[in-house]
Structure 1
Amino acid sequence: MFGFGKKDGGPAEAKASATGRVVAWGTAGRSVWSPRDTGTLVRSGFSGNPVGFRAVKLIAEAAAAVPLVCGDGRARFDVHPVLDLIGRPNGAQGRAEWFEALFGQLLLSGDAYVEAVGNGGLPAELHVLRSDRMSVVPGTDGWPVAYDYAVGGRTHRFKVADLSPVCHVRSFHPQDDHYGLSPMQAAASAVDVHNAASRWSKGLLDNAARPSGAIVHQGEAELSPDQFDRLSMELEANHQGARNAGRPMLLEGGLDWKPMGFSPSDMEFQKTKEAAAREIATAFGVPPMMLGIPGDATYANYVEANRAFYRLTVLPLVGKVVEALSHWLGLHAGETLRIEADRDRVPALQAERDAEWGRIAKADFLTPDEKRRMLGLPPLEGA
């Protein structure tokens, strides 16, 4: 990855398997998992899975709605160009839509990229770039020297100098130096199981919501190839699919229908689907109760689950993103900036904050500035 051990001027390495054109039709005994690239994960885990879709939307929308405050560590600003920029990042998106796209990219791919548009100083506009189109260009020392954004067969390079035009926010990845690990990758196996269980249920409904059966030939002579083909075509045309549900079957010539009941493994499919849904919710940090998944009694009620959701998932995600934006925008503006989540205005945490304010206010052994520091507030002017 860092360019060590490469020989310049050598022929391009080509890798191809001698069995690449051979198709294996038998998959019995082997699990088939979907690819783990970002595009496939988004299609199967977000666009094609209701649990993954709702988990990402729930986190992104909740994080985008968290109120923010801006300061320099000593005071909070009521009016500041950064607040105006965040309030309207560009001409096509407002604050909520822009932040939802930013948090959504980070959840789905593990990486989020923000482009600064302007002629110097504080950016005039901010744009969220698609993570699946961006690639990091590492230098000889391993640190990024540029970002390549590929779209429509063309590639635009953002060079990283003293002031980078791109802010890269990434999740922790223990085995990658440049890209983050998304919750969708951790939940990929559970997504495959959940989607497979949904397809199995759909196939059962198409088969009149009943298990399959077998036609038993009780005659002494075996069926001729023509008779077997004709019987197969009649079954496929007249007794398969939802439109033929409940249609009586007319058998002749010593044929008998033997229905097959559900096996224990068939009966466990619904439980398997619910278990996979809980694993998806766990990977994203969403209490299953908030997604309507049955069988979960971790929290006493919905209010407690919602409070834990904000405290353990939403606020840490917001803190990670706004910290990176604060440093990056501060470099552009040429001043120290500190953007934070305003916990006092988060409705889900209101009861906790009221108790904390009351407990600290009654502490007579603390000075006013010590109390403000414990509440996350800047000191009073002239104190």
Structure 2
Amino acid sequence: MSESKQKSPGRFKASVLKWLGVPISLTDGSFWQSFAGSESSSGESVSVESALQLSAAWACVRLLAETIATLPLNLYQMAADGTRTVAKDHPLYSVLHTQPNAENTAVEFWEVMVASMLLRGNGYARKLRTSTAIIGLELLLPQRMQTPKRLKNGQLQYQYNELDGTTSTLSEDDVLHIRGFSLDGLMGLTPIRYAREVIGNSTAANKASASVFKNGLRPSGALSTDQILQKDKRKEIREDLAEQFGGAMQAGKTMVLEAGMKYQAITMNPEDVQLLQTRSFNIEEICRWFRVPPFMVGHSEKSTSWGTGIEQQTIGFLTFSLRPWLTRIEQAVKRSCLTPAERLTYYAEFSVEGLLRADSAGRSAFYSQMTQNGLMTRDECRVKENLPPMGGNAAVLTVQSALLPIDKLGEQSAASNAQDALKAWLQTENKDES
């Protein structure tokens, strides 16, 4: 067994337990990658489990997965006049928005799907049907899914290793497959495999840092004497000193030397070997792989170029980090969960308004502009603020002129023209009398 396996028995055990009862072949790449990981140039074995032990990788995955999972995913129906309504009567609405299956809420389900795409490049779910309608989505672990095969009729066939040791054959219509970044359109690329050098270097730097602090920032020292020591005596001295003075907990103890021995400490400052800079750079590298700004995972050493206000930074995060993932999910749901006829009028879309909400002053200015220019009603603004609608004129579009209903503008203009004409006539009559 290699040194990396001896150092990480927990990861070895976890990899084995996930595959108990599952038939394994020598060509099963999913098992062997989970079992052994990918070797990096630093000598560290990189797998999904080892990558998540890095705080930067854990923070990036959690940030993206939890943010996307907590955004409401709604199903809309587009009318012929271009207006849209939330399709709450469609059976797919509650599956996407509320509860995909009996075991998971919508947040839990989409959290696992997004995390699977971030770490393994693909997210899978089994469609649960009654007749032709989809009534549920069951999570399928990507590490148990074999590479899909292309059949002669052009469709894809999936082989999934179930938890009970059996293998299920699933058709393309039975699986919701959301791919990450891909080069062939069939399978998403596994980010951990391509980022193994960065992750391996970061793991090695963490171990080196832990070793430095374990030794009390004093990695080694030298004992010198004019005498020639026997092998047994040399071993005895080395073990005795290591037990009593090795490690950070032993720092400060007084060392007693015999036979004219002299101790010379070899000091090392982490700054001298750029250990701290290396760890900081690795955080930025990991964030670059997940396309997350470092300041959003607690790395505030460098300022962001995404704007100075929190609103501008949120818009940048939504545009460059979240939007590609949101669009992948929306289009995959439309392609795989709706019939060709339904795709003409129905579509799924995340509601991102919650991310764009600024402070109270910003929201107040936004609502004022929208209502005064006749773009939103006051009831629509109240709904966005989680307030009950008032009804009546609060549901009517108004403009800034006199805050009149928009369909009364013509009448107001006509009345104003009549009043102006009357004033002009009265002025003319007064001049004639005088």
TM-score range, shorter chain: 0.7 to 0.9
Question: What aligned pairs does 1:167-206 form with structure 2 within 5 A after superposition?
Answer: 167-174=176-183, 178-206=186-214
Equivalence map 1:1-383=2 (5 Å): 31-35=42-46, 40=47, 42-46=48-52, 48-74=53-79, 75-80=84-89, 81-86=91-96, 87-139=98-150, 145-152=156-163, 154-160=165-171, 164-174=173-183, 178-217=186-225, 219=226, 221-262=227-268, 266-299=272-305, 300-331=308-339, 336=344, 337-348=346-357
Equivalent pair of 1:290/1:306 in contact (CA under 8 Å): no
Task: Answer yes or no: is the 8 Å Cα contact 2:144–2:162 preserved in 1.
Answer: yes
Shift of 1:213: 1.7
In the other structure, the counterpart of 1:9 is none
Identity %: 23
2:108 alignment partner, SS class? helix
As a proportion of its length, which structure holds more helix?
Answer: 2
Displacement of 1:357? 11
CA distance in 2, matches of 1:123, 1:133: 23
The Cα shift of 1:363 comes to 11
Q: Specify the SS of the correspondent of 1:123.
A: strand
CA distance in 2, matches of 1:159, 1:173: 22
Cα drift, residue 143 of structure 1: 5.5
Q: Which amino acid aligns with 1:76?
A: T
Q: Which has the higher contact order (CA 8 A, sep 6+)?
A: 1
**How far did 1:53 drift?**
0.7
Distance (Å, rounded) in 1 between the aligned partners of 2:182 and 2:43? 25
| Structure-2-length-normalised TM-score | 0.67
Q: What TM-score do you get using the length of structure 1 for normalisation?
A: 0.75
Contact map agreement 1:120 1:332 (CA 8 A) in 2 = no
Give the Å deviation of 1:184.
Answer: 3.4
CA contact (8 A) 2:148 2:158 kept: yes
**Alignment partners' CA distance in 1, 2:160 and 2:245:** 53
Tell me the secondary structure at the aligned position of residue 326 of structure 1.
helix
Counterpart CA distance in 2 for 1:289 and 1:113 is 31
Which whole-Å deviations, capped at 9, do the CAs of 1:138-175 have from their partners, x for residues lacking one? 236696631111245724233326xx11011111233x
CA deviation after TM superposition for structure 1 residue 227, in Å = 1.4
Give the counterpart letter for 2:267 in structure 1.
G
- Per-residue CA distance 1:220-254 (angstroms, 9 max, x = gap): x3211121111122122222234323222211112
The answer to whether the 8 A contact 2:126-2:137 is kept is yes
CA, structure 1 residues 196+170, in 2 after alignment: closer, same or farther (shift >3 Å)? same
Task: Using the TM superposition, give the Cα deviation of residue 103 of structure 1 relative to its aligned residue in structure 2, in angstroms.
Answer: 0.8
Instruction: Please report how far the alpha carbon of residue 285 of structure 1 lies from its aligned counterpart in structure 2 after TM superposition.
Output: 1.5
The answer (yes or no) to whether the contact 1:173–1:180 under 8 Å persists in 2 is yes
* In structure 1, distance between residues paired with 2:64 and 2:339: 29
Please, what is the CA RMSD of the aligned residues?
Answer: 3.3
Q: Which amino acid aligns with 2:175?
A: V
Structure 1 residue runs without a partner (length 5+): 1-13, 16-29, 365-383
Q: Helix, strand or coil: the match of 1:118?
A: strand
Task: Show structure 2 runs of 5+ residues with no match.
Answer: 1-25, 28-40, 376-434
Determine the C-alpha separation between the residues in 2 that align with 1:73 and 1:192.
49
- Verify the 8 A CA contact 1:67 1:345 in the aligned structure 2: no
Q: How many residues align?
A: 327
Does the 8 Å contact 2:92/2:134 carry over to 1? no
SS of 1:135's equivalent? coil
